[in-house]
Structure 1
Amino acid sequence: MATASYTCHRCLGALTNSPRLPTASLKLWRTATLGAGRRSISTGLYNNSTAHRPSAQRPSKKVSGKRLQLITDFAGQKPKSEPVQVRTPPGLEYTPAPETDGRPLLLPNNLFHPFSESPSPEIRRRAAFMKQNAWCPNHAHQQTRSVPDSNGTRSAPKPIGTAPPAHVNFECPDCGIPVACCEEHWAEDYEKHLEVCDTLREINEDDHDLRSGRFFPEFEYPGDQIEEALVNMTNWDTFLYSREFTAINDERSLRQATRLLTYPATIGSVLHELSPYSLKRDGRLTNEGLKSLSALRYTLHPARTGGGADIKGLRPAPPPVRIFILGARAESSLPREVWVQLTHLFPRVSFHLVFIGPESMANRDNEFPLPPRTPSNPFGAVVEDRITNSLKISTFVEYYHTLHEAGQFYPYDPYFDCFMLFHPGLGHPASTHEWEQTIPLLLETKVPIFVTGYTQFDMDRDIEWVNKTVGGEVDLLMTPGENRFRSLRWDINDLDPQDISCGNWGIWGFRGKRYETTQKDVPAA
């Protein structure tokens, strides 16, 4: 009995002398359990989970907003509207990413900077290049380039001024781009400069946005979707919505996204059976164009074969659709996720993209040196055949006429082959000689050829050159006009800062003329 009595007194003393919270703190803790709801966030004193909470301590009356905020601050918890947080295991704590390559993070309201004072070294080097190569357009100088007339044509330079040509050096305070040699000449041409000043400022901010160090959700692309979900190719908005892209609510983000997507979207908008180009009035498609595209669409939209992933579902697969991209430059260095978007528009077929041109390896320095030229790879092609199971990309650093004469891609099939020329400059004086041998060989294949241009003038110059060179052997497939899926972002010419353009502004198509053979019943002699 004594032992039992002594033991009970010891327990009673331990309970009596144990540290307790004051009454006010206990009430605050009890109320905080209500504000936290079903969260299981531990505090320094008590665990808030239901496993350790006595049911008698659950209050029955509501707490006002101000008092709840005070209580949650006391308990070390966050307001109820924020997402649930989970404790991170030791060693896996999140650490914020440091500054990207030492570049400062530019906020959306701090994107405008004069090119020569830009926080980006790349843009400062670009400004220096402009000041060393671009000429002042003021009429007081002797003109160094042709100027477009009011009707859109360009005439030879006219000797207007007597002062020698001078490089641009003065940056417009409104757009931040060097456009004149001095402030006086900028003020004289200010009214004319206002026509493009707002667009130049937009280009300035877009360039700084790309180098701002922010996260770009617009560059996250969706995967394939069910075939019953049709794609609407009326314009960019309907295309991005029907393809289930992440919502883009900012115009600048939309411009950045379309600058890359314009290449696969332009090809898909022409070849797809739901193409916005048709035989209807102002549909821009000609009868010959419908013939060529019908053959391609027969291959691109095959009937269901009943195939599957198991052994019983094995079916013979047709050869891939080959798209030859001649004169490839920027499009060859696009992220491969961008080109995969083309395969999602045609889920039942596979594609083989062939980039051809002496500049097709531009901006791909990490892939050098090129493969050696061997009997099995005589032209040193760079082959990427493991992108997806429906896309293969080959790159040839060579002129097309050399490959054609060697029979590298022979035979050509109008059901499986197509040519795309992105901004080829067929009629540009600096690049015309590179296409003189290529265009006649393209016409021999009788395969559809689609061409894009930076501007209306650029496109009209190409058409004029084709008609002048091989006009009698050409069938027009698509009348020239604005591309529904042109890039919404404008670019400037570093050799002429006031010359603005956008990628794939216009598109048109042609093909080598086909002569149909007809038979007549000739009476026997």
Structure 2
Amino acid sequence: MSCAVLRQRSTTRLHVALRPRASYLSPSSCNSRRYIFSFLRKPKPAPKKSDPVPVLTQDDLFHPFSKSPFPMLQARGEAIKRIAPCPVCTTSHEQGIPHEHREPQNVDFECPDCGWPTHCSEEHWKQDEEHQKYCLRLREANEDEHDLRSGRRMVEFELPGPQGYEEAISFANWDVFWYTRGFMSMDTERSRRHASKLLTYPITIGSALHQWSPLMLSNQRLTPEGSRSLAAIRSTLHVPLGAPETAEAQVGKPQVRIFILGARAESSLPVHVWEQLCLLFPAAQLHIFFIGPQVSLPRGETPKSPAQVQHSHSNAAPSSSTSSPSPTDSPSTEIAIPAKVPPEEVHQNKVAELQNRKEYLPNVFKPPPPVPIDRQKYTRNSISRYGVPSYTTPYTKELTVTGLQTNYLDVHHLFSESLDPYSDAFFFFSPGFGFPSENSFAEDGVTPLPQIASPTEWGSILPLLLESKCPIFVTGFSPADVERDVRSLSEAPDVAGQFEWVVMPGPNTFSSEKWEISDFDPRVMIKANWGIWAIRGRSKDIQERSMLDGLLPWRQ
């Protein structure tokens, strides 16, 4: 009996010993293991995010404007039909050919080959033999507009970072520049057109000021006077030969200021696009000024006059000297820090906004003001400094962007005493110097003056810039536009004979390769920044006279 009891107790103890004990650790800690050579194990790759599904595929980009899936393109087609005349009707009236209508009719028929409204009827479309000469360009522009809104991944807009150490940049052409700069491969002509349109403004500036510029004495684009003029500002942008171009070389150098006068669409480019200009000069600090009545202001920024700003500050002042300062008195109120949004969500929101936008303003004579730009983290209001609606964005320590929504003549006094050919340069992107003025006329009261001679436009500004001796670069959108602007220099009273050439007129290596179609006449097509030229104020050489000049007869 006792043996049976002992056997039962020993069996019970054995079962208790073999019973699993309750764990007081978390379930995840039970499965964790620590290996001695765990650092040799490769971490599991993060799951790749799939590209967004495009609305249109690459083989379905052509759509007539009236049947476009995007409301903005439909609105553009309607705007063209309201203002563009039929080319056949116009030619018939100009040549005196009998026509069924007294006045040229507006376009209403969409070409089935290009999708643009081009003629008033199908009969006139069949009669027009000149249409086939530019029909392919119109179709190309049609597909480009739909591709921008298709929602696909735009690899051509993925910009590279800083240039590698001892990696030279070539400015021979777009292809070599993209390759040496480390851009994504441009596999199609459409990608080339999109990328060149985006980068033409910053890279045109960079290629003109860089020491390896394609504008050289050897190809007769750069003049000897221009070589001396650009040598001054290049000594600030670069380091001496043999020294590395690094951020440490910025110490002790003045900030290089680039004034873009009459800025329009270029002021609405994202700041990271203008950073590509800054990355071409790693040993310099750049400050870009957009000045013009059509400059884009940050989103949500309401322009205020200086009187309104002073009134708001007076209302915010404390009532007594003993009261503590309120938070609104601190300068930090001028800095608007937006909420952090993932870049993927920002991109998707912008694409959706572009696809669903319905309104469209035709680009007739005066282009509409650009859309407001996004506020960056440190964007601040600068109206108290410049006295006009303005903003300043210190994007990086090498790049600062300032926009002033006013005429340059109103703020010239703020920069006139500090302008220096060693650190300042002016750029005009298609200013229209030779276009007729709307406000100024000749002595007969009928003939309009060119804008470069108009006192209300460029006539009073260009002489002030020539006095600074800083280089002035001008671009044009076509050969005719460049020729018209160059010829207008001789018609301005305070400009003719007061300048010398820096860069001779000619094609711009980094012009946009995308055709821009005019709304008032689809036959008119341009390429942004097709040509470039530059001038500066005439220098006066000082000759020292000797005491023997009056004594020696051959030196009198």
Counterpart in 1 of 2:40? none
Cα distance per residue 1:163-204 (max 9 Å; x no partner)? 412111111111000111111222221x21111111110000
How many residues end up aligned between the 2 structures?
A: 424
Q: Which residue of 1 aligns with 2:471?
A: 448
1:422 matched to 2:429? The reply is yes
1:227-266 pair list within 5 angstroms: 227-266=165-204
Change (3 A) 1:284 1:335: same
Q: Distance in 2 between matches of 1:251 and 1:314?
A: 39
**Alignment pair present for 1:400 and 2:408:** yes
- Residue 351 of structure 2 corresponds to residue 343 of structure 1: no
Residue in structure 2 matched with residue 105 of structure 1 by the alignment:
55
Aligned partner of 1:436 in structure 2 is: 459
SS of the aligned residue for 1:481 comes to strand
CA distance in 2, matches of 1:215, 1:232: 27
From 129, 132, 145, give the equivalent of 1:207: 145
CA distance in 2, matches of 1:87, 1:334: 33
Using the alignment, how far apart are the partners of 2:244 and 2:511 within structure 1? 37
Give percent identity, aligned residues only. 42
Residues 376-385 or 290-299, more deviating:
376-385
- Is 1:388 equivalent to 2:388 in the alignment? no
The letter for the 1-side match of 2:473 is F
Task: Give the alignment partner of residue 125 of structure 2, picking from 186, 203, 211.
Answer: 186
Partner residue of 2:327? none
Deviation of 1:511 (Å): 1.3
- Whether the 8 Å CA contact 1:486–1:504 is kept in 2: the answer is yes
1:325 to 2:260 alignment: yes
Q: 1:130 aligns to what?
A: 80
Mapped partners of 1:269, 1:463: distance in 2? 21
- Contact 1:480/1:506 (CA < 8 Å) preserved in 2? yes
Residues 103-126 of structure 1: CA distance to partner in whole angstroms, max 9, x if unpaired? x70000000000111111000111
| SS of 1:239 mapped into structure 2 | helix
Q: Which amino acid aligns with 2:166?
A: E
Q: Is the 8 Å Cα contact of residues 429 and 475 (structure 2) preserved in structure 1? A: yes
Q: Residue 180 of structure 2 aligns to which amino acid in structure 1?
A: S
Structure 1 residue 379: Cα displacement: 2.4
- Do the aligned partners of residues 342 and 158 (structure 1) sit closer, same or farther apart at CA in structure 2, a change above 3 Å counting? farther
The separation in 1 between residues aligned to 2:427 and 2:162, in whole angstroms, is 24
What residue number does 1:285 align with? 222
Contact 2:289 2:403 in 1 (8 A): yes
Deviation at 1:305, TM superposition (A): 8.3
Give the structure-2-normalised TM-score.
0.70
The answer to whether the Cα contact below 8 Å between 1:307 and 1:315 also exists between their aligned partners in 2 is: no
Separation (CA, whole Å) in 2 of partners of 1:256 and 1:330? 15
Residues 1:463 and 2:454 are matched in the alignment: no
> Which 10-residue stretch deviates more, 463-472 or 120-129?
463-472
Unmatched 5+ stretches in structure 2: 1-6, 9-34, 36-42, 311-383, 439-450, 552-556
User: Which residue identity does 2:181 align to in structure 1?
Assistant: R
Partner of 1:276: 214
Bigger drift between 413-422 and 248-257 goes to 248-257
Indicate yes or no: 2:303 matched with 1:370.
Answer: yes
Q: CA deviation at 1:296?
A: 1.1
Using structure 1 for the length normalisation, give the TM-score.
0.74
Taking a change above 3 Å as real, the CA distance of residues 160 and 456 of structure 1, as seen in their structure-2 partners, is farther
CA distance in 1, matches of 2:96, 2:437: 23
With over 3 angstroms needed to count, the CA separation of the structure-2 counterparts of 1:229 and 1:185, relative to structure 1, is same
Partner of 1:174: 113
Indicate if the aligned counterparts of 2:388 and 2:406 stay in contact, CA closer than 8 A: no
Secondary structure class of the residue paired with 1:293: helix
- Cα contact 2:515–2:525 (8 A) shared by 1: yes
CA distance in 1, matches of 2:205, 2:465: 18
Give the 3 Å change call, closer, same or farther, for CA 349–207 of structure 1 in structure 2: same
Q: 1:380 to 1:359 in 2, by over 3 A?
A: same
Distance (Å, rounded) in 2 between the aligned partners of 1:506 and 1:305: 34
**Counterpart for residue 157 of structure 2:** 219
Contact 2:504 2:534 (8 Å CA) reproduced: yes
Residues 438 and 199 of structure 1, relative CA distance in 2, 3 Å threshold: same
Provide the C-alpha distance between the structure 1 equivalents of 2:155 and 2:244, rounded to a whole number of angstroms. 37
Aligned equivalents of 1:448, 1:242: Cα separation in 2 = 28
Match of 1:480 among 484, 495, 505: 505
Give me the whole-angstrom Cα distance separating, in 2, the residues matched to 1:367 and 1:295.
40
The answer (yes or no) to whether the contact 1:139–1:161 under 8 Å persists in 2 is: no
Is the 8 Å Cα contact of residues 263 and 292 (structure 2) preserved in structure 1?
A: yes
Q: Deviations 1:72-91 (Å, cap 9, x if unpaired)? A: xxxxxxxxxxxx98697xxx
The answer to whether the 8 A contact 2:263-2:294 is kept is yes
- Structure 2 partner of 1:117: 67
SS in 2 for 1:366: coil
In the aligned structure 1, how far is the partner of 2:390 from the partner of 2:204?
24
Checking the alignment, whether the CA contact within 8 Å between 1:322 and 1:351 is kept in structure 2 is: yes
| Residue 412 (str. 1) matches residue 437 (str. 2) | no
- Structure scoring higher RCO (CA < 8 A, sep ≥ 6) equals 2
Q: CA RMSD in A?
A: 3.3
Query: Are the structure 2 counterparts of residues 368 and 166 from structure 1 closer, same or farther at C-alpha, using a change threshold of 3 Å?
Result: farther
Query: For 1:94 and 1:502, how far apart are their aligned partners in 2?
Result: 36
Give the letter for the 1:125 counterpart. A
Equivalent residue in structure 2 for 1:302, among 239, 243, 246: 239
Which residue of 2 is the match for residue 75 of structure 1? none
Unaligned 5+ segments in structure 1 are 4-50, 52-83, 144-156
Contact kept in structure 1, 2:245 and 2:282, CA below 8 Å: no
2 CA distance for matches of 1:425 and 1:286?
Answer: 24
Partner of 1:12: none
Range 426-435 or range 337-346, more displaced: 426-435
Spell out, residue by residue over 1:434-474, the C-alpha distance to the aligned partner (whole angstroms, 9 max, x if none). 21222222222211111111111111111111222122112
In 2, distance between residues paired with 1:140 and 1:257?
Answer: 36
Is the contact made by 1:139 and 1:160 (CA closer than 8 Å) also made in structure 2? no
Local SS of the residue matching 1:380: coil
Inter-CA distance 200–293: structure 2 relative to 1 (3 Å threshold): same
Residue by residue over 1:370-400, the C-alpha shift from the partner in whole angstroms, topping out at 9 and shown as x without a partner, is 3553684242353333311101111111111
